[in-house]
Structure 1
Amino acid sequence: MPGNTQGIEGNHANSRPRFGIDAPGLVLGFAIGGPLLLLASLFDGFAPALSLTMRYTGSVLCAEAILMTLSSLYGKQRVIRRMIDSLQLHGGEQVLDVGCGRGLLLLEAARRLPCGRATGLDLWSTRDQSGNAAAATQHNAELAGVADRVRIDTGDMRHLPYADASFDAIVSSLAIHNLPTETDREQAVREIARVLKPGGRVALLDFRHTALYAQVLREAGLDVRRSWPEFRMFPWVWIVRGRKP
């Protein structure tokens, strides 16, 4: 495999790219609400059944906050690396990351492209990822030593600003599900198929709607397969892989 493929977290600790926490508002709500419910359940003023329910719910919220944080910081990196490996990049491809966020998937692709380029597209919503901004992604690319082979664009995945058949490979992680309607998600996946070159590969990672992604790609003529659930991330995810004839 061309390029440095040891992974983004292999950099020196003082110059390591940082990719934030997915769904930070939700994680914060769980992290605050869980302990509060556990504390409230200790008071004597509640009926035993209500105290038990509060204790159970608080424990679940605390566990979800911990699991989602660990998923963002550790599990996702390992799943993403395997996902990029499955594309079998040779080093000179044009790769698009749809909804790139702070660049974990984008930079893992760029490390494998000494003669190619990885393009990241996003609308930069901080609701979906903490600290999400084009400047943060550019800074991460510089820290990872791949800024010369990374391009960062602002745009809507439902209307990709690229010509037909522009990319050899297209990837996306935990991004398409953020679109508000099924029609929007279908449009985004059709756009992905449109800008993919013949013979190109696609890999879409998400924790819901992946059956829809697979269906739309098949309708666009791609050969498609959907993975088994991947439990190293929380919530667990599926990866839809396809190849354009």
Structure 2
Amino acid sequence: MQGKPRFGIDAPTLVLGFAIGGPLLLVLGCVGNRVLPSALAGTMIGTGAVMATEAVLMTLSSLYGKRILLRRMVDALGLHGDEKALDVGCGRGMLLLETASRLPRGRVTGLDLWSTRDQSGNAAEATARNAELAGLRERVQIDTGDMRHLPYADASFDVIVSSLAIHNLPTETDREQAVHEIARLLKPGGQLALLDFRHTAHYVQALREAGLDTRRSWPQFLMFPWVWVVRGRKA
């Protein structure tokens, strides 16, 4: 197999909408500046500029900023190389493979429901291909499942990671259930790192209720929208 892994764009429908709608509003606002009320034309131009800028920033975030932050997040785990790890909501595998690259004697499982709304081209086959292209397929297991009902035994993993996944659950109850499931699967002494742009304070609260020593980072501005990293360790 030839080529490099491709990890797609996060929230592709939203990015596409901004990429089309932003320039369109800019053009309409500029063209209609002479016939439309100045306030309306100005609003169209301003909104279009914001949407176009967000499309660019979100694309750069998916392609570059996220990769840098995930690498730093995995580095901070201080892995020994023989851990058993889980990536919850692994998507096309950027964090999955970043983790696998640190586990020459270990193994990482990636689990997802494979929603293409959340990531372009999201599919188990795409993740497997990326693992092959990265030369890490033998270290990776790919499963399909719901993070609210993780299909693994208690205390199964030394390390659990997740990136931009838990916020996709529709209610606070769902998200709390997923976080409690993550805590259930962690071995005593195990650690986790969850990156997200919403609800991270609730993740911290739920993990502390589950008995984990937990902290949240300062906002990280290499991604757009900016994100936080929640870290925890099980006693």
TM range (shorter): over 0.9
Q: 1:25 is matched with which residue?
A: 13
Question: In structure 1, how many angstroms separate the alpha carbons of the residues matched to 2:221 and 2:48?
Answer: 23
Q: 1:62 is matched with which residue?
A: 52
Q: Give, as a single letter, the amino acid of the residue that structure 2 aligns with 1:196.
A: L
Secondary structure of the 1:41 match is helix
Q: 1:197 is matched with which residue?
A: 187
Q: 1:239 is matched with which residue?
A: 229
Question: In structure 2, how many angstroms separate the alpha carbons of the residues matched to 1:46 and 1:182?
Answer: 44
Map 1:173-188 to 2 at 5 A: 173-188=163-178
TM-score (norm 2): 0.98
Secondary structure of the 2:48 match is helix
Q: 2:137 is matched with which residue?
A: 147
Kindly indicate whether residue 95 of structure 2 is the aligned counterpart of residue 105 of structure 1: yes
Q: 2:76 is matched with which residue?
A: 86
Q: Give, as a single letter, the amino acid of the residue that structure 2 aligns with 1:67.
A: L
Structure 1 gaps, min length 5: 1-13
- Count of residue pairs the alignment pairs up: 233
Question: In structure 1, how many angstroms separate the alpha carbons of the residues matched to 2:215 and 2:176?
Answer: 17
* Deviation per residue, 1:184-236 (Å, 9 max, x gap): 00000000000000000000000000000000000000001100000000000
* Deviation per residue, 1:135-187 (Å, 9 max, x gap): 00000000000000000000000000000000000000000000010000000
Question: In structure 2, how many angstroms separate the alpha carbons of the residues matched to 1:121 and 1:24?
Answer: 20
TM-score (norm 1): 0.94
Question: In structure 2, how many angstroms separate the alpha carbons of the residues matched to 1:61 and 1:137?
Answer: 30
CA RMSD in angstroms, aligned pairs only: 0.9
- TM-superposed CA distance for 1:15, in Å, is 1.7
User: How much identity, in percent, do the aligned residues show?
Assistant: 75
Question: In structure 2, how many angstroms separate the alpha carbons of the residues matched to 1:95 and 1:87?
Answer: 11
Question: In structure 1, how many angstroms separate the alpha carbons of the residues matched to 2:130 and 2:228?
Answer: 26
Structure 2 gaps, min length 5: none
Question: In structure 1, how many angstroms separate the alpha carbons of the residues matched to 2:205 and 2:35?
Answer: 53
Kindly indicate whether residue 43 of structure 2 is the aligned counterpart of residue 53 of structure 1: yes
Kindly indicate whether residue 217 of structure 2 is the aligned counterpart of residue 230 of structure 1: no
* Deviation per residue, 1:98-139 (Å, 9 max, x gap): 000000000000011011001000000000000000000000
- TM-superposed CA distance for 1:45, in Å, is 2.1
Q: Give, as a single letter, the amino acid of the residue that structure 2 aligns with 1:144.
A: A
